[in-house]
Structure 1
Amino acid sequence: MTPEDRARRIKVLIFDVDGVLTNGDITIIPQPDGSGIEVKSFSAHDGLGMSFARIGGLRLGIITKRQSQVVALRARDLKLEFVYQGQAHKAHAFQEIAAKAGVTLDEMAYVGDDIVDLPCLRICGLAIATANARSQVKEIAHYVTPHAGGAGAGRDAIEFVLAAQGSLARVIEQYLDESDPTARASDIGSGNM
């Protein structure tokens, strides 16, 4: 089965965060009280892609091993339906999402970059690796994004699925139609946290 054949079946798209929706850097700014402020950078291209995905009828989420207030804020801004942080064994969360969404694992795609993502990538219908992924991830991926994590890899994954489903051009035009209420409702937040 080709990657495009797999993509045609996808209803739910789940992303790892560090190294997929970010470049993988974790910056911590120390505070006088001994605590730290975590800083991550996210791609605006990925954010717009999330709007495209919703217009195209895809359901979206993240599964990440780390707990991060920054990730919680970005997930809220992106209006993600499924948000799982602190997941040492991501396949459990992935299967729970499938049950909540009422879909089979073959109808789910996962985007990852490191070995912690392998359990989800092994069981999903469409395994997607970012351009910066570890070799073990790329070896089992059905599709490798042209861009690295934090530089548009999320958008690449979304556009690959929508293109395979034959809806990418329509979704873009629908997003650009300022009178379309679906497009307005699917848009991400304003960024004013």
Structure 2
Amino acid sequence: MITSPAYPGAVLGRAAKIRLIGFDVDGTLTDGSLLYGSDGQDQKKFHVQDGMGLALLRQAGIEVALVSARRSAAVEARSRELHIAHVHLGQRSKLACMQGIAQELGIGMEAVAFMGDDLPDLAVLRDVGLAIAPADAHHWVLPVAHWVTPRCGGLGAGRDACDLLLHAQGRIDAILAHGEAP
């Protein structure tokens, strides 16, 4: 029998309602390091478990969005590989972006989760139904989060958020019974 982490009841209640989750990229799905090659192109390191979690969410019918203030060819490539439809780079207002996606999908902000780690994420974290932060988020963000992942950004924190939603929505048993990656 597989056991899940002990999630707080209030967090599970919020997570059960989520139909869309947005992720900041730098510091959330990456460790926050900014690496540049000699050609000036950015390079990012993504955790494979985060990618699996995003694919499992999509398979479960939960929409996934990547929203970043930075433009990045590496993020574009990773999002194509994971078949993420909602990729919004160079966003100055992550809140307006997430509100727009929610409106497009016909859902209210109470059915939206967001995972962020720093100042540019605060407005959207304050407005969503479930605010998530990685363990190493900036101390300004932590008090706003409904839930803080056990792992740090870029080290599986994204998967922690995905697993929370899948658990709260009763999807884990079906995933394990299927036994294959999406």
TM-score by length of 2: 0.91
- Code of the residue aligned with 1:121 in structure 2: it is L
CA-to-partner distance for each residue in 1:2-53, whole Å, 9 max, x for gaps? 111100100011100000110001111223xxxx121100000001111211
Asked if residue 111 in structure 1 is aligned to residue 105 in structure 2, the reply is no
Q: Equivalent residue for 2:126?
A: 122
- Measure how far apart 1:164 and its partner are: 1.1
User: 1:26 matched to which residue of 2?
Assistant: 34
SS in 1 for 2:114: strand
Q: For residues 80-115 of structure 1, what are the alpha-carbon distances to aligned partners after superposition, in whole Å with 9 as ceiling and x for unaligned?
A: 121100011111101111011111100010000111
2:103 is aligned to 99
1 CA distance for matches of 2:98 and 2:77?
A: 21
Identity among equivalent pairs (%): 39
Q: Give the number of equivalent residue pairs.
A: 174
Aligned to 2:69: 65
Deviation by residue 1:93-139 (Cα, 9 ceiling, x = unmatched): 01111011111100010000111101110100000011110111110
Q: Provide the aligned C-alpha RMSD in A.
A: 1.3
Bigger Cα Rg: 1
For the pair 1:3 / 2:7, whether they are aligned, the reply is no
Gaps of 5+ in 2: 1-8
Aligned to 2:156: 152
Would you say the 8 A contact 1:110–1:121 is kept in 2?
yes
Partner of 2:3: none
Q: 2:47 aligns with which of 30, 37, 43?
A: 43
Query: Given the two structures, how large is their TM-score scaled by the length of structure 1?
Result: 0.86
Structure 1 residue 171 displacement after superposition: 2.0
